[in-house]
Structure 1
C-alpha cells in the first residue's frame, strides 16, 4: 500500500453512496424519536422511516450512473447498502413496535405476557431481515460475476417494504378512531413481513412506473400523517395513558374530568 492510499479514509465517499449514508442517518434520527418523549415523536419516527425508504429507492440507480467504478467500489456498495438496510429496515422498525410493547411511565404495559410475545416477534423480524440481507449480498455478488445486466426481480419480500407498510398500519389505526397505538396489528404485520423476507417467491423489481407509484403512496401517507396529527406522545397535562391525540379520546377525557367536578 502506497503513501497516498494510507492517507485516505477507509470506505468510499463519492456520490454513489451518499444516499445510502443519508438514509442510514435518517434511520438513526428516527430511533432517537422513538425513545424521546417529545410531542409528535412517533410521527417524526415514521417520517424518518419513509425518508430512509426514499433514499434506498434511488441509491442503486445513482450508483449505476458512475461508469468507471472499480470492482472494490461495487463490492463496497453492495455491502454498505445491506449494512445500512439492517439498521434502517431491520433494527429501526422493530424498535418502533418494541417501544410500544415495553411501555413507559406515560404508557404502562397492560398485559406483560402480551409484551413478551411482541418482543419475541420483533426479535424474529430482525433475525429474518438479517438473514435476507446476508443472502441477498451473496446472491448479488454471484449474479454480478455472471452478468453485467441490472437485476429484474427479487426473491422474497425486500426489507424496504416496511417503510410503506408500517406507516400505513399506524395511519389506518388512527383514522379508524383507535385511541391506542396498533400494537397487535403492527406486530402481526411484522410477523408476516418476517416470513415473507425469507420465503423464496419471485417479485418483480419496480422500475420507473413502479417507483412513481410508491412515491405517490408515500406522499399520501405523508399527508395523512400530518393531517391526522396522530401518534402524539402525551404531555403532563394529558392523560398519561394516551399516545394518540385522537379527538374522540380527548372528548372522552374532558367529559370524565367534568363529571369528576
Structure 2
C-alpha cells in the first residue's frame, strides 16, 4: 500500500488564505512593537488591520476551489495560533504597557491570554453552535472593542484610563468564555468592518501626525 507523501511546512505557507493569515500576524507584530514603545495609536492601527486580514483569510479559503483537506486543516490550525497572538497576547501587552508594566496588571494580562487559549481550543473541538452562532464573544471582537475604547482615551487621565482598560480586558475575557449565544458576523458585515478599519485608521493616523 502506498503511503501518502507528507508535504513540507512551507508548502502550506504558500497557500493564499495562509498568506493572508500571516499578513495579519505581521500587523500584530507591528502592533506589539508599537505597544511596547508606548505608541498606542500606531498599535491600535496594526491591531485593526490584523482583524481585517483575519476575516479575509476565511473568505478567501471559502472562495478558493481545489484546496486539499490537509490545506484546510492546516489553515484552521494556523488561524487559531495567530488568533491567540493577535487577540490574546497583543491586548495583554497593550494593557501592560499602558499600565507602565505595573505588577498589578499581570493578572489581567494573563486572564485575556488564558481566556483566548481556552476559547480557541474549545472552538476547535465544537465549532459554532448552529453554523451561524458563536458560544460567547469571538476573540477578534476584542480588538474591535478595544480600538473603540481608545477613541475616548484623551477624555481621561492616564492612570484612570489604565484602570478602565483593565476592567474592559476582564469583561472581554469573561465574554470570551461565556455561554452567551452571539451571531457570527458574515456576508455584508465585512464591508462594515472595512469602513470601520479605514475610519479608525484615519483617526489614529491623524493622532500620529498632528
- Scaled to the shorter chain, the TM-score interval is 0.7 to 0.9
Higher helix share: 2
Question: TM-score normalised to the size of structure 1?
Answer: 0.71
Of 110, 122, 135 in structure 2, the residue corresponding to residue 155 of structure 1 is 135
Q: Show the 5 A alignment for 1:1-261.
A: 8-10=8-10, 12=12, 13-36=14-37, 41-103=39-101, 115-140=102-127, 151-174=131-154, 176=155, 178-180=156-158, 182-229=161-208
Q: Is the 8 A contact 2:42 2:204 kept in 1?
A: no
- Cα RMSD after superposing both structures: 2.6
- Cα 1:7/1:226, change in 2 over 3 Å: closer
> Can you give the 5+ residue segments of structure 2 that lack an aligned partner in the other structure?
none
Output one character per residue of 1:56-112: Cα deviation in whole Å (capped at 9) or x when no partner: 111101011222222211111111110010011110111011112234xxxxxxxxx
The alpha-carbon deviation at position 208 of structure 1 amounts to 2.5
Unaligned ranges ≥5, structure 1: 104-114, 144-149, 231-244, 246-261
Larger radius of gyration: 1
Structure 2 length as normaliser, TM-score? 0.87
Give the Cα separation in 2 of the matches to 1:151 and 1:58: 18
* Structure 1 position 30, deviation (Å): 1.5
Q: Contact 2:52–2:193 at 8 Å: present in 1 too?
A: no
In the superposition, relative to structure 1, how do residues 208 and 118 fare at CA in structure 2: closer, same or farther (>3 Å)? same
Q: Shift in Å at residue 121 of structure 1?
A: 1.3
Count how many residue pairs are aligned between Structure 1 and Structure 2: 206
In the alignment, is the contact (CA less than 8 A) between 2:136 and 2:178 conserved in 1? Answer: yes
